């Protein structure tokens, strides 16, 4: 069931980071919306109160996901005046293409929207979700992506706006790809995140960490990661490790002491997964490659403590200012 | 552990009731989602599973189409029903032909009475997730009463479980089934209780390593009714939930091309290897100031009692 949310008023604040989710009928927008919205809640509150150092980030929520229903049959679409205002206020335009369906219509539609949105707001991030790829075989996914990228490039060339940056994501709500895609989209919208990434880079360099993620515990969207490339497998393992830690802790939870959680797990090939709760529902999950568990963990624990202090510092200053 | 034990388990039920899905999840590391691609089982599919070292579970997954079923009760009956330790009969709660399902159950009871009268009978009411939550218990009771009545005629006492592949109930059922086959259970329990006293743990649970089924726990016996009311607050389904959580984690660790080795949560909760086929799960009291090195050393010394 798709329930389009109608935005009464685009928003008075033009700098507000809004994600506009568009696409043809039955592309899966509302499902994405539910998955992401449901998971977005803790992240929202995080940015409302905690690390809101940049003053521009005082929103009622971090991401406003407005679903704009597009009729599938019309091949001519001209947004009214209201949508012009809307395009000006959004930070990212997410266009959902159903990869299991005939997508030529969607591509023409998308090109038109890009042309319009780009005219109104050249700063806009255009993100294309090649959605529902869970039903496609591995080879076919890449073929589809290549085909779609090629066709969009051609369309934009025809329209004379080849300078637009369009990012593509292969997504499905049945695995972690939608979180991964949204993590990337959200990160693009928070310009202040480089400071967090810098902190993580520092941490990684000094603790033999292979990969680290700063997760929002409830949504499993990662707010920041270090600058080494993200490998989807690693992300999935780290996200699932959050579940393991939280679920195990819930079973034997002691209601009185509310101490921060710390968890580490050693795998047989010497990988160590660690989990540390940070401030305000954030958690640092790291993957370490080392065989000597005890000494490694001592160093990591110490460094993570410093990292946590740095986060607290950022948060404290943002309250004061 | 001693004794060469080959146990024959029959997994029966009408077609589509979810027999092969169960087997795949518990013994072949499938996720619940993966079971969609399983096809129909043709005739009998045998699997030999080594469990706790020298115990071999001989699982006969019997395809449930009527053609095969008729065959089991006529031509192959002595082959199928001889030397059976355990019959696991699976009922689909959504089934339209309940009377026919029970009919098949009765037929196999009849054969068992003749060929292996000492078999243990387990009944699983499967696909419980398809029933509304408030109606589940009622439905289970009605069905179990009916089944108990029918099986009494043949002199069997049956144990039933509501199960679903989408939650932890499957692990509870299979843990009880497999535990009923372990001969020296008392010794395990005794050792575990001793260990609990020595390291002053809140609880210790023993898991089989590959399947993560619960073997026994330090609080399973008389201790649970003792004065320590701390346990009453704990989740009664925690064993199965741990199985479920750890099984998922095991699966996700294969993405790093590795296997789970050990885990330490807040220095209070430890999961580690005890022997080549056992995992131990230790929870210490939360107020104590624990030393993880000390615990590991203690467990290392406990290993020789669980070989």
ipTM of this predicted structure: 0.76
Q: Measured between alpha carbons, how far is B153 from B151 in angstroms, rounded to an integer?
A: 5
- Residues B206, B175 share a domain: no
Quote the percentage of chain A above a pLDDT of 90: 0
- Look at residue B176 and tell me whether its pLDDT is greater than 70: yes
Query: With bands split at pLDDT 50, 70 and 90, how would you rate the model's confidence at B3?
Result: very low
* CATH of residue A64: 3.40.50.300
- Residues A121, A199 share a domain: no
Domain that holds residue B151: 5-180
Better-predicted residue by pLDDT, A22 or B117 = B117
- Residues B139, B176 share a domain: yes
Better-predicted residue by pLDDT, A11 or A118 = A118
Of B140, B159, B180, the one marking the end of a domain is B180
- Look at residue B102 and tell me whether its pLDDT is greater than 70: yes
**List of chain B residues whose C-beta atoms are within 8 Å of the C-beta of residue A261:** 265-266
- Residues A175, A217 share a domain: no
- Residues B93, B211 share a domain: no
Integer angstrom CA distances of residue A276 from A267, B44, B170, B210, B221 = 18, 49, 32, 28, 36
- Look at residue B65 and tell me whether its pLDDT is greater than 70: yes
- Residues A148, A39 share a domain: yes
Query: With bands split at pLDDT 50, 70 and 90, how would you rate the model's confidence at A317?
Result: low
Q: What pLDDT score does A49 carry?
A: 41
**List of chain B residues whose C-beta atoms are within 8 Å of the C-beta of residue A233:** 255-256
* CATH of residue B144: 3.40.50.300
- Residues B29, B157 share a domain: yes
Q: Which of A5-14, A73-82, A227-236 has the lowest mean pLDDT?
A: A5-14
Over residues B209-234, mean pLDDT: 63
Quote the percentage of chain A above a pLDDT of 70: 72
Could you tell me if residue A150 is inside a domain? yes
- Residues A223, A84 share a domain: no
Q: What is the average pLDDT score of chain A?
A: 74
Of A166, A188, A210, the one marking the end of a domain is A188
- Look at residue B260 and tell me whether its pLDDT is greater than 50: yes
- Residues A202, A291 share a domain: yes
- Residues A311, A211 share a domain: yes
- Residues B76, B100 share a domain: yes
Of B161, B180, B199, the one marking the end of a domain is B180
pTM beyond cutoff 0.90: no
Could you tell me if residue A242 is inside a domain? yes
The answer for residues whose C-beta is within 8 angstroms of residue A217's C-beta and 6 or more apart is A42, A242, A246, A277, A281, A282, A283
Q: Do B263 and A267 touch (CB under 8 A)?
A: no
Highest-confidence segment of A4-13, A24-33, B273-282: B273-282
Could you tell me if residue A207 is inside a domain? yes
- Residues B145, B51 share a domain: yes
Query: With bands split at pLDDT 50, 70 and 90, how would you rate the model's confidence at A62?
Result: very low
- Residues A176, A205 share a domain: no
- Residues B169, B224 share a domain: no
Of A130, A165, A188, the one marking the end of a domain is A188
Q: What is the average pLDDT score of chain B?
A: 82
Q: Measured between alpha carbons, how far is B50 from A218 in angstroms, rounded to an integer?
A: 39
Could you tell me if residue A227 is inside a domain? yes
Domain that holds residue A90: 18-188
- Residues A280, A175 share a domain: no
Could you tell me if residue A53 is inside a domain? yes
Residue of chain B nearest A249, judged by CA positions = B265
Better-predicted residue by pLDDT, A81 or A120 = A120
Over residues B192-207, mean pLDDT: 83
Q: Do A267 and B238 touch (CB under 8 A)?
A: no
- Residues B200, B148 share a domain: no
Could you tell me if residue A1 is inside a domain? no
* CATH of residue B275: 3.30.450.190
- Residues A22, A111 share a domain: yes
Overall number of domains in chain B: 2
3-class SS string, B132-169: CHHHHHHHHHHHHHHHHHHHHCCCCCEEEEECCCCCCH
Could you tell me if residue A221 is inside a domain? yes
CA atoms within 13 A on the CB side of B126: 28
Residue B119 in contact with residue B108, Cβ under 8 Å? no
- Residues A304, A206 share a domain: yes
Q: What pLDDT score does B220 carry?
A: 56
- Look at residue A149 and tell me whether its pLDDT is greater than 50: yes
- Residues B281, B244 share a domain: yes
Over residues B8-30, mean pLDDT: 87
- Residues A219, A119 share a domain: no
Residue of chain A nearest B254, judged by CA positions = A237
- Look at residue A9 and tell me whether its pLDDT is greater than 50: no
- Residues A207, A109 share a domain: no
Query: With bands split at pLDDT 50, 70 and 90, how would you rate the model's confidence at A258?
Result: low
Of A128, A156, A188, the one marking the end of a domain is A188
Q: Which of A64-78, A295-309, B170-184, B274-288 has the lowest mean pLDDT?
A: A64-78
Overall number of domains in chain A: 2
Considering only CB atoms, A265 lies closest to which of B202, B263, B283, namely B263
Q: Measured between alpha carbons, how far is B134 from B238 in angstroms, rounded to an integer?
A: 21
pLDDT digits (tens, 9 = 90+) for A15-51: 445 677 777 776 777 677 766 666 543 333 334 344 3
Q: Measured between alpha carbons, how far is A64 from A36 in angstroms, rounded to an integer?
A: 11
Could you tell me if residue A55 is inside a domain? yes
Residue of chain B nearest A245, judged by CA positions = B265
Angle at which helices A293-320 and A193-206 pack, to 10 degrees? Answer: 160
pLDDT digits (tens, 9 = 90+) for B141-172: 998 998 888 888 888 888 899 998 888 888 88
- Residues B103, B160 share a domain: yes
- Look at residue B258 and tell me whether its pLDDT is greater than 60: yes
* CATH of residue A287: 3.30.450.190
Q: What pLDDT score does A192 carry?
A: 66
Q: Do A263 and B263 touch (CB under 8 A)?
A: yes
Q: Do B261 and A234 touch (CB under 8 A)?
A: no
- Residues B176, B64 share a domain: yes
Of B133, B165, B180, the one marking the end of a domain is B180
Q: Which of A113-127, B22-36, B167-181, B278-292 has the lowest mean pLDDT?
A: B278-292
- Residues B205, B98 share a domain: no
């Amino acid at each position: 069931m798709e329930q389009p949310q109608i935005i009464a008023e685009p928003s008075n604040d033009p700098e507000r980071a809004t994600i506009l989710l568009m696409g043809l009928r039955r592309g899966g927008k509302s499902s994405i919306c539910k998955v992401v919205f449901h998971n977005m809640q803790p992240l929202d509150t995080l940015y409302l109160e905690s690390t809101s150092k940049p003053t521009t980030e005082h929103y009622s929520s971090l991401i406003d996901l407005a679903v704009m229903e597009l009729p599938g049959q019309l091949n001519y679409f001209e947004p009214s005046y209201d949508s012009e205002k809307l395009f000006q206020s959004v930070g990212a335009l997410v266009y959902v293409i159903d990869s299991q369906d005939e997508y030529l219509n969607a591509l023409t539609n998308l090109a038109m929207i890009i042309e319009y949105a780009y005219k109104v707001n050249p700063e806009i991030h255009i993100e294309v979700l090649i959605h529902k790829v869970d039903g496609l075989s591995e080879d076919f996914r890449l073929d589809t992506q290549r085909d779609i990228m090629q066709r969009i490039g051609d369309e934009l060339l025809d329209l004379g706006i080849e300078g637009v940056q369009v990012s593509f994501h292969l997504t499905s709500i049945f695995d972690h790809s939608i979180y991964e895609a949204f993590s990337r989209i959200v990160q693009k919208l928070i310009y202040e995140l480089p400071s967090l990434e810098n902190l993580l880079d520092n941490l990684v360099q000094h603790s033999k960490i292979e990969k680290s993620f700063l997760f929002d515990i409830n949504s499993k969207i990662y707010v920041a990661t270090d600058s080494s490339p993200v490998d989807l497998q690693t992300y999935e393992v780290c996200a699932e490790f959050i579940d393991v830690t939280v679920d195990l802790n819930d079973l034997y939870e002691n209601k009185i002491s509310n101490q921060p959680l710390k968890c580490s797990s050693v795998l047989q090939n010497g990988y160590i997964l660690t989990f540390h709760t940070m401030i305000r529902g954030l958690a640092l999950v790291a993957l370490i490659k080392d065989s000597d568990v005890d000494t490694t963990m001592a160093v990591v624990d110490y460094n993570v403590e410093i990292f946590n202090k740095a986060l607290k510092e950022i948060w404290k200053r943002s309250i004061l200012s | 552990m001693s004794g060469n034990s080959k146990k024959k388990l029959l997994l029966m039920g009408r077609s589509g009731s979810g027999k092969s899905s169960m087997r795949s999840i518990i013994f072949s590391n499938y996720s619940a989602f993966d079971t969609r691609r399983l096809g129909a089982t043709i005739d009998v599919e045998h699997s030999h599973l080594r469990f706790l070292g020298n115990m071999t579970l001989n699982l006969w997954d019997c395809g449930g189409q009527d053609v095969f079923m008729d065959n089991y009760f006529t031509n192959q009956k002595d082959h199928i029903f001889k030397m059976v330790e355990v019959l696991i009969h699976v009922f689909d709660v959504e089934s339209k032909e309940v009377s026919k399902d029970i009919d098949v159950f009765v037929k196999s009871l009849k054969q068992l009475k003749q060929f292996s009268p000492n078999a243990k009978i387990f009944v699983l009411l499967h696909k419980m997730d398809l029933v509304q939550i408030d109606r589940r218990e009622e439905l289970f009771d009605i069905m179990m009463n009916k089944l108990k009545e029918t099986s009494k005629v043949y002199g069997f006492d049956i144990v039933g479980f509501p199960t679903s592949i989408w939650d932890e109930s499957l692990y509870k059922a299979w843990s009880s089934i497999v535990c009923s086959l372990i001969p020296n259970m008392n010794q395990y329990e005794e050792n575990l209780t001793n260990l609990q006293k020595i390291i002053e743990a809140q609880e210790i649970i023993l898991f089989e390593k590959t399947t993560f089924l619960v073997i026994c726990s330090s609080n399973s016996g008389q201790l649970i009714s003792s004065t320590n009311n701390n346990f009453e607050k704990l989740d009664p389904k925690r064993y199965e939930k741990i199985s479920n959580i750890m099984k998922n984690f095991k699966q996700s660790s294969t993405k790093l091309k590795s296997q789970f080795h050990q885990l330490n949560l807040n220095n209070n909760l430890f999961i580690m290897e005890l022997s080549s086929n056992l995992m131990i799960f230790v929870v210490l009291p939360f107020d104590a100031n624990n030393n993880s090195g000390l615990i590991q050393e203690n467990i290392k010394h406990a290993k020789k009692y669980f070989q």
